Amino acid sequence: MTDLTRIDGAELAGLLASGEVSSVEATQAHLDRIAAVDGEIHAFLHVNAGALDEARRIDERRAAGEQLHELAGAPVAIKDVLCTIGMPSTSGSRILEGWVPPYDATPVARLKAAGLVALGKTNMDEFAMGSSTEHSAYGPTRNPWDRERIPGGSGGGSAAAVAAFEAPFALGSDTGGSIRQPAAVTGSVGVKPTYGGVSRYGAIALASSLDQVGPVSRTVLDSALIHDVIGGHDPHDSTSLQREWPSFAAAAREGAAAGSLQGLKVGVIRELDSEGIAPDVHARFQEAVRLIEGAGGEVVEVSVPSIEYAVAAYYLILPAEASSNLARFDSVRFGLRVERPGQTVEDVMAASREAGFGAEVKRRIILGTYALSAGYYDAYYGSAQQVRTLIQRDFDAAFAQVDLLVSPAAPTTAFRFGEKVGDPLAMYANDITTIPANLAGIPGMALPMGLGDDGLPVGLQLLAPLFEDARLYRAGATIEALLAEQWGGILAHQAPQLTEVAR
């Protein structure tokens, strides 16, 4: 029988819909895979004890002749930043250890309504603050391609689960690259939707003006299928866009069938073409650009000059919003409480936050609180917001010239554990290529574009104008097919150490 963990989500969905495979069989196969390899990978913080019961109910509904969603019965992993009924939601932090929310985040609720089966919650940097998943309070996740390397962050658990064949689909969140950068270094496909295109209701907030929930998978089509389910307006989220969205899966299928990029004008971002980019990553990027040209795409160089200030602006805006959002974790209403006889409420709050937050979270709270303090607000937070406006205008100008922008999705392949954890500035610089899209609110995608000199995945980033997520999927699927042909299918589907892990 076909190994159900090794096939793409769309193919698995077809087998489920035809009745060739049951949801119980598909779910059990992935649970078995988790049991076999996750002791080495540590992609999951919690495995859903009710997954097989959920799968069984889907099988019963299908057997009764009920018309189900095309993904009904397929397994999915969920980043631990999203609230889930019946499963802990810790955001990778001790301060929320064991907390089980009374409601589902809207993206989770929409997956459930479509009949997908939750496999469990995936590991992440604490409160999504990090680029390596080394800042999780529950230990790091390891990259399935090389277990001595990081899987990216903050959503390393979701990307590793997909790359290790523990799940065909996963949900992540992207505040400055937390979907795209892990996808790049694990050979996966990750998408940050247009800001407001997917509800943030029930996503534990880091920086509310930057956070966006999106899909992680092994193919562009699979990400599009999940995006179709979770996207759309939600009255629970005041930033949710009230607009009609086309089918992203249809766009991806159209792009895969096209085989050509004729008529597409693609801009190479001058500021992200070589600055801080490792030589092997730059070489793969140049090869991908030539492939785009060979497929009929018109490639030109464009400038987004304010990108130079993106990392600095981001690391003022994000900590400021995080400082405000994380003030709710005060030990009074929910979460960890550390108290001793005779302490005041203020003492308990201070002791609980000291014990519950990790070093990186504390660092960013301090930075953010300082940036928002009297006398410094205009100089720091206010100035950063002005830079953000410049970045948005520069992207508008760039997209007036081209249909799509491209760059490396991460400046290097996966680095070794401990290599940057002691140098926050080096860690922050790792997000140089992904941060600008969050500041501008535009959609972005990372997909595999080959292997670096160390044999590890390299990611290509595609960026589209606001609301043009379908364009991203259409072009992404075409480019994915061209790259797969060039590389002979050795990307996310053949991580070299996975067989060894399974033994």
Active site residues: 79, 154, 178
Q: CA 371: distance to chain centroid?
A: 27
Tokens of 54: 């959920």
Specify whether the CB–CB gap between 204 and 127 falls below 8 A.
Answer: yes
- Report which residue type is found at 88: P
Distance CA 145, CA 187 (A): 9
Closest CA to 91 of 212, 204, 216, 209: 204
Q: What are phi and psi of 404, to 5 degrees?
A: -150, 150
User: What is 223-259 written as a DSSP string?
Assistant: HHHHHHHHBS--TT-TT---S----HHHHHHHHHHH-
Distance CA 125, CA 428 (A): 13
Reported as type and span, the H/E element at residue 382 is: none
Distance CA 69, CA 134 (A): 37
Distance CA 356, CA 337 (A): 9
Distance CA 71, CA 81 (A): 23
The overall longest dimension of the chain from CA atoms, in Å, is 74
Contacts of 366 (CB under 8 A, 6+ apart): none
10 Å Cβ neighbour count for 189?
30
Contacts of 2 (CB under 8 A, 6+ apart): none
* Structure-token match 């959920």, residue found: 54
Q: Helices then strands (H, E): number in the chain?
A: 17, 11
Indicate the burial class of 499 (C-beta count within 10 angstroms; 0-12, 13-18, 19 or more). exposed
The alpha-helical segments, DSSP class H, found in 145-296 are 156-163, 180-186, 220-230, 248-258, 279-294
User: Can you give the C-alpha Rg of the chain in angstroms?
Assistant: 21
Reported as type and span, the H/E element at residue 213 is: strand 213-217
Orientation angle between helical segments 310-325 and 383-399, nearest 10 degrees = 120
Specify whether the CB–CB gap between 416 and 456 falls below 8 A.
Answer: no
Give the strand order in the sheet containing 404-408.
44-47, 117-122, 75-79, 169-173, 213-217, 189-192, 444-451, 457-463, 404-408, 265-269, 298-302
